[in-house]
Amino acid sequence: MNLVPDYLFDSIYTIDIERLRARGVTLLLADLDNTLIPYSQKLPTDDIRAWRDRLKAAGITLFILSNSRKPGRAKRFAEALGVPYMGHAGKPKPGGFRRAMAQMERKPQETAIVGDQIFTDIWGGNNAGVLTLMVKPIEFGTLFRRARYGVETPFRTRAKEGGTL
Ligand SMILES: [Mg+2]
């Protein structure tokens, strides 16, 4: 059971895309809620569109891997962004990661996950054998989310800061 992310970033925008590609990563699985957009938002921003374009230009495919149970949420976002997706992904179980990699014909060593939660995104990514990149949640919102962030802190602090990716 490995709950420690490989690398820690302030946000998706501080991930060094060129270095990620240089490590052999060509598939980036991304959590949706509080990683790409806040829970209150539905559609990709211009910043996310530009980020997707930079990934694509570097040779990295973006894939939305979401646990959201809200009907259509991952679908609506991913279709607006023009990227493949999976809702109800069942993180931290490795099945969703494996199905996404099979669909995109990538191996674990060619794949990374970026997410804001230790117990779904990072644990799941470690279970599936992919590179795990943790970002800070976009917003806390509820007391529950703030408390969970506190519980996650010991694992977060053991990750490497992103500059060494
Ligand atoms: Mg999240």
CA of 116 to the centre of ligand 1 (A): 5
User: In the predicted model, is pLDDT for residue 52 greater than 70?
Assistant: yes
Binned at pLDDT 50, 70 and 90, residue 138 comes out as very high
Binned at pLDDT 50, 70 and 90, residue 130 comes out as very high
User: In the predicted model, is pLDDT for residue 157 greater than 90?
Assistant: no
What's the predicted TM-score (pTM) here?
0.95
pLDDT at 94: 97
pLDDT at 163: 62
Cα 157 from Cα 19, distance rounded (Å): 22
CA of 110 to the centre of ligand 1 (A): 22
CA of 118 to the centre of ligand 1 (A): 9
Domains of the chain by residue range: 7-164
CA of 16 to the centre of ligand 1 (A): 20
pLDDT at 24: 97
Residues composing the chain = 165
In the predicted model, what is the mean pLDDT of residues 36-53?
97
Tokens of 151: 């519980």
CA of 57 to the centre of ligand 1 (A): 25
CA of 102 to the centre of ligand 1 (A): 23
CATH of domain 7-164: 3.40.50.1000
In the predicted model, what is the mean pLDDT of residues 84-111?
97
Q: Is the peptide bond before 92 cis (omega within 30 degrees of 0)?
A: yes
**Spatial CA neighbour of 115 closest among 35, 23, 46:** 35
CA of 67 to the centre of ligand 1 (A): 8
